[in-house]
Structure 1
Amino acid sequence: MKIAIVGAGAIGGYFGGLLARAGHDVTLIARGAHRDAIRANGLTVESKDERFTTHPACTENPAEAGAQDLVILSLKAPAVPDMAEKMLPLFGPDTAMITAMNGVPYWYFYKHGGPLDGYRIASVDPGDKQWTLIGPQRAIGSVVWVAGAIAAPGVIHHSGGNRLPLGEPDGSRSERVQRFSAALSAAGIDAPVHDNIRQEIWTKLWGNLSYNPVSVLTHGTLEGLSRDPDARRVLGAMMEESKLVGERLGIDFPVTSEQRMAMAEKVGPHKSSMLQDLEGGRPMEIGGLIGVIAELARKLDIPTPTIDTVLALLKTRARVAGTYKD
């Protein structure tokens, strides 16, 4: 199977390494020193249990790869709109794309069937570039439950998790989603097919939309924020406001906000991905994690005063850091 990984960083590189080892024709889309190291020495994946090196193709230019059977999009959300047009050579008539990203994806309301069926999300897909150029019909949803980092150019350190559940936007168990699930599973990736991938998206989003922005504003860890009474009030209010949005869209919340914060506390003194991006001088996933909730709340006439306040402060912080583009 021809598979392109767009955004072959820590997570995309991990998936690409496993798929290349399994014998698939993998092309990694990467740049800079990481690309150069992969070309020269191959891609190395290391974890507590093993270390292996594969030699997939690696390029900065998707046009060099040509049409694929499957594209795995593993970029952070702010980078995707600018990449959408460059990705077009990867798509043949039947090419599918797994959106292996945090937050709400651009295709979310494609075949949704709810009150916002067909809605295009401006905070996630400004100018409808992804919807128009790539198309929602190519999309297969997923949620990344994997932790890792680029230990050095060309070297991926996998620190935990191996789960990438997949799901069609319409909830069907199509031939293509079952085929890709089987290929990923055979490569060592836990990729079950879900009938309601949006539920899985919200399971992760509920923590990300609250802890990520509050951690940026306070520099607190998941454990520290969970134990701080003032932070807990803000986190809890954000969760309850977003819960109203999710429920209006058909999402069930099997745990309370208090239970969700207890789960985050157990993660320990971990910095959120958004805080890591701030400290690294990188654009933060503002639109896909919290901006989208504010946008959908307005469409549904649901007040979200805490979310709106935190979002405004988060944008200001990003502007001060020089990483925010309206």
Structure 2
Amino acid sequence: SLSPALDQIAPLLGDHTSVVTMQNGVPWWYFHGVGGPLEGTRLNAVDPGGAIWQRIGPDRVIGSVVYPAVEVDAPGLIRHVEGKRFSLGEPSGERSERVTLLAEEMVKAGLQAPVREDIRSEIWVKLWGNLSFNPISALTGSTLAAIVADDGTRALARTMMLEAQAIGESLGVRFPIAVDRRIKGAGDVGEHKTSMLQDLERGRPMEIDALVSAVQELGRLTDKPTPTIDAVLALVRRLAVERGCYR
């Protein structure tokens, strides 16, 4: 959560400052600009008490989905495994001047920065895998390739993903690929440790709330059952508490 850093961030925000939320999981601004009965809903899992919404403000946000896979080999030493795509998008779906300029500058730097009209659907495609593979990897110590190769863990991930898909579709999300293709894509990354497993091994705070708790909360908001997500969340949260990686 950004909450602990709000006091440091606030002085940096001017009248025209944009904030690019390059993060995994469900973003705190998710229900800004969506219309309908959930417009303006704050998600307690990622923004307790709505503090981020109030102090940063959703109007500043440019959404982003981060695809590069990296590993932390040592403090301050990040090893890039693969990928250079950072999808961008306004919460409203418009192709604004600010998001266009940002994308152009990122491309000049050698990155891929496609601008999406529906950034939420792309957030869900990545979240789809993260909400399952991350906690399973933390619980088992397994890489993406190992999780996909094992019949049991692959089936567990698939069940979690189908529960999440029902939630996303009820919110109007379009899933452009089939669940089994998404699973195969995760396995194709190879012997990569997920960020949650890396955090657990290094005793760092784990992204449980953005990746899993928020999906559970969305399930409650949409009246979609999440029994498998609930069970895995309970286990990984307990593990994180025991290891000092969750408060």
Residue from 177, 189, 210 that aligns with 1:255: 177
User: Could you say what secondary structure the match of 1:324 adopts?
Assistant: coil
Partner of 2:141: 219
Residue 109 of structure 1: how far off its partner (Å):
0.7
Residues 180 and 216 of structure 1: CA distance in aligned 2, closer, same or farther (over 3 Å)? same
Higher normalized strand content (fraction of residues): 1
Residues 306 and 249 of structure 1: CA distance in aligned 2, closer, same or farther (over 3 Å)? same
Residue 164 of structure 1: how far off its partner (Å):
1.0
Higher normalized helix content (fraction of residues): 2
Answer yes or no: is the 8 Å Cα contact 2:71–2:198 preserved in 1. Answer: no
Task: Give distance in 2, aligned partners of 1:158 and 1:232.
Answer: 26
Q: How does 1:78-93 map to 2 (within 5 A)?
A: 78=1, 80-93=2-15
Q: How does 1:80-229 map to 2 (within 5 A)?
A: 80-149=2-71, 156-229=78-151
Over alpha carbons, which structure has the higher Rg? 1
Q: Counterpart of 1:250 in structure 2: which amino acid?
A: G
- Aligned pairs, how many? 247
Q: Counterpart of 1:208 in structure 2: which amino acid?
A: N
Partner of 2:228: 306
User: Could you say what secondary structure the match of 1:181 adopts?
Assistant: helix
Answer yes or no: is the 8 Å Cα contact 1:97–1:138 preserved in 2. Answer: yes
Does residue 293 (structure 1) correspond to residue 215 (structure 2)? The answer is yes
**% identical aligned pairs:** 49
Q: TM-score, normalised by structure 2?
A: 0.95
Task: Give distance in 2, aligned partners of 1:191 and 1:291.
Answer: 28
Residues 155 and 309 of structure 1: CA distance in aligned 2, closer, same or farther (over 3 Å)? closer
Residues 123 and 113 of structure 1: CA distance in aligned 2, closer, same or farther (over 3 Å)? same
User: Could you say which structure has the greater relative contact order, defined with CA pairs below 8 angstroms and 6 or more residues apart?
Assistant: 2
Answer yes or no: is the 8 Å Cα contact 2:143–2:193 preserved in 1. Answer: yes
Task: Give distance in 1, aligned partners of 2:230 and 2:214.
Answer: 11
User: Could you say what secondary structure the match of 2:25 adopts?
Assistant: coil
Residue from 271, 282, 285 that aligns with 2:193: 271
Answer yes or no: is the 8 Å Cα contact 1:111–1:169 preserved in 2. Answer: yes
Residue 153 of structure 1: how far off its partner (Å):
6.0
User: Where do 5+ consecutive residues of structure 1 fail to align?
Assistant: 1-77
Task: Give distance in 2, aligned partners of 1:250 and 1:133.
Answer: 28
Residue 160 of structure 1: how far off its partner (Å):
2.2
Residues 207 and 90 of structure 1: CA distance in aligned 2, closer, same or farther (over 3 Å)? same
User: Could you say what secondary structure the match of 1:270 adopts?
Assistant: coil
User: Where do 5+ consecutive residues of structure 2 fail to align?
Assistant: none
Task: Give distance in 1, aligned partners of 2:74 and 2:245.
Answer: 24
Q: Counterpart of 1:184 in structure 2: which amino acid?
A: M
Q: TM-score, normalised by structure 1?
A: 0.72
